[in-house]
């Protein structure tokens, strides 16, 4: 059933005190609106909107090429930049605003704002980064002493003066850069890759099972942050270590693990993540661009030509998404893969939580997505009330109806729920205050509510 105010309040109560582990990447997002000021700062590329530069980015011309290409393609993108170019941007470009960034930072902010009790690990925690957490007193940080994990308030865990900064270049439809017009409201991220990041948490890696024994679930992200400079020979050794950490975490209490996928243009890194990390997940979260990359990298035959994101919405594309998700889930052997698309949220599942819990999670995530898009920020449960002001997408309902016909199952209130597939319409905000982090909001809100609903059901 579509969510109402009573159901929303019940779901928020279910999250109270829910313990969840969140790692690895938090940063500060420096927000810049695409416009004349940015164009004056950058250097004009040779073929604006057409050529995508080599990565990592190392010049203003390459950055201009990447942003204009993203505007022309109509989908968000993220590319790493060199440490030297990152320093250039910090020294020469004034952002229009700053906010919490990084999947771990965004997800921690959300779950703490909704009353859950996150244990968060991130490899760089400066005073500047600390200031971006809305509820630092509600967040614990794991430290290891004498082979035992103890939890300290986040304020006591500051460990560096350095802050990881990502530059987020936001644009709306018809915004112009070097004569290239944006065809969608989205963003391009130029991501820093500090040398301190190597997916190693020191002594915590060997004692992570103690964390697993105290939490109900884990939200893991940031694997795409690796670069060749972070590894000795190849990505395999580092990601095999990260795989072993996930297994050790789960051994502490069979902890459900959500891995949030993210775009990287490093094909070797994507291959290593696919081989060593994704099969360890209980559930994987992805958007449509990430799903297309996953499916292409896996070389699966479920869909001959995946739906293109730069074409007008076609309700039948949900059938392609369903086939892609199903084939990937079968290939990886995970419990569920969940897709956050513009008009609908879609999950395929096998050995995961109940379909009822997944549907509740997807409905809840649509409310969170709308609230985030409406105001740009969620800092308390009351902020979610705004999400109810937006009706479930009619185009999403239409698409889900096509999928329901395909799997020969009924819909209820626009949602589909079977033992193997769950879908619900998103709540779309036509003029979003911002687009960065909405996918992380969707995935984390869905996952924690799924856990809370499942735990409450098990307790009965």
How many other C-beta atoms can be found within 10 angstroms of the C-beta atom of residue 118? 27
24 preceded by a cis bond (ω within 30 of 0) = yes
Alpha carbon of residue 413 to chain centroid: 27
Q: Would you state the structure tokens that stand for residue 105, as one six-digit string? A: 């930072």
- To which residue do tokens 């939890």 refer? 151
CB 55 within 8 A of CB 78: no
End-to-end CA distance of the chain: 22
Q: Would you state the structure tokens that stand for residue 435, as one six-digit string? A: 């687009």
Give residue-wise pLDDT tens across range 43-100.
999 999 999 998 899 999 999 999 999 999 988 899 999 999 999 999 999 999 999 9
CATH of 5-26+102-161+195-459 given 3.90.550.10, 3.40.1190.20, 3.30.70.100, 3.40.50.720: 3.40.1190.20
DSSP 230: G
Q: Which residues in the chain land under pLDDT 50? A: 460
CB 152 within 8 A of CB 141: yes
Nearest C-alpha neighbor of 206 from the set 142, 256, 258, 156: 142
Calpha distance 180→171 (Å, rounded)? 12
Give residue-wise pLDDT tens across range 211-264.
999 999 999 999 999 988 888 778 999 999 999 999 999 998 889 999 999 988
In the chain, ranges of CATH 3.30.1110.20 domains: 30-99+163-191
Instruction: Tell me which architecture the domain covering 30-99+163-191 has in CATH.
Output: 2-Layer Sandwich (3.30)
DSSP secondary structure, 158-214, as one string? ---S---EEEEEEE-TT-EETTEE-SSSEEEEEE---TT-SS--THHHHHHHHHHTT
Alpha carbon of residue 443 to chain centroid: 6
In the chain, ranges of CATH 3.40.1190.20 domains: 5-26+102-161+195-459
R_g (Cα) of the chain, nearest Å = 21
Calpha distance 326→303 (Å, rounded)? 11
Task: State the pLDDT at residue 311.
Answer: 64
Nearest C-alpha neighbor of 355 from the set 417, 284, 416, 411: 417
Task: State the pLDDT at residue 194.
Answer: 87
Q: Would you state the structure tokens that stand for residue 281, as one six-digit string? A: 């997940």
């Amino acid at each position: 059933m579509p969510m109402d105010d009573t159901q929303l309040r019940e779901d928020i109560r279910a999250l109270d005190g829910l313990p969840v582990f969140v790692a690895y990447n938090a940063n500060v997002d420096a927000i810049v609106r695409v416009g004349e000021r940015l164009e004056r700062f950058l250097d004009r590329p040779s073929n604006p909107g057409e050529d995508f530069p080599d990565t990592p980015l190392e010049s203003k011309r390459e950055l201009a090429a990447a942003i204009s290409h993203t505007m022309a393609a109509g989908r968000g993108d993220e590319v790493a930049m060199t440490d030297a170019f990152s320093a250039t941007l910090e020294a020469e470009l004034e952002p229009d605003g700053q906010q919490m960034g990084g999947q771990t930072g965004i997800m921690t902010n959300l779950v703490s704002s909704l009353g859950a009790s996150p244990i968060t690990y991130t490899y760089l925690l400066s005073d500047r980064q600390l200031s971006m957490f809305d509820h630092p007193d509600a967040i614990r940080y794991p430290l290891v002493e004498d082979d035992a994990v103890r939890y300290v308030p986040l304020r006591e865990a500051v460990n560096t003066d350095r802050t990881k900064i990502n530059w987020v270049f936001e644009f709306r439809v018809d915004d112009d850069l070097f004569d290239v017009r944006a065809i969608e409201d989205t963003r391009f991220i130029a991501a820093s890759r500090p040398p301190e990041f190597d997916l190693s948490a020191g002594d915590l890696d060997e004692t992570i099972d103690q964390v697993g024994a105290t939490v109900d679930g884990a939200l893991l992200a940031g694997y795409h942050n690796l670069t060749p400079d972070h590894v000795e020979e190849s990505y395999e050794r580092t990601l095999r270590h990260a795989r072993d950490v996930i297994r050790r975490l789960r051994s502490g209490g069979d902890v459900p693990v959500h891995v949030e996928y993210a775009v990287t243009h490093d094909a070797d890194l994507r291959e290593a993540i696919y081989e060593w990390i994704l099969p360890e997940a209980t559930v994987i979260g992805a958007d449509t661009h990430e799903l297309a990359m996953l499916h292409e990298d896996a070389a699966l035959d479920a869909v001959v030509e995946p739906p293109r994101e730069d074409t007008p919405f076609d309700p039948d594309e949900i059938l392609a998404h369903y086939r892609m998700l199903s084939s990937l889930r079968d290939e990886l052997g995970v419990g569920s893969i969940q897709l956050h698309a513009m008009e609908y949220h879609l999950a395929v599942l096998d050995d995961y939580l109940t379909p009822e819990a997944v549907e509740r999670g997807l409905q809840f995530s649509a409310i969170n997505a709308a609230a985030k898009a409406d105001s740009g920020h969620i800092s308390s449960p009351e902020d979610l009330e705004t999400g109810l002001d937006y009706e479930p997408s009619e185009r999403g309902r239409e698409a889900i109806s096509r999928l329901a016909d395909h799997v020969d199952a009924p819909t209820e209130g626009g949602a589909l729920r079977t033992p193997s597939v769950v879908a619900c319409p998103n709540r779309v905000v036509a003029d979003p205050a911002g687009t960065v982090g909405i996918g992380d909001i969707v995935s984390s809100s869905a996952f924690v509510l799924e856990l809370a609903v499942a735990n409450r059901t098990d307790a009965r």
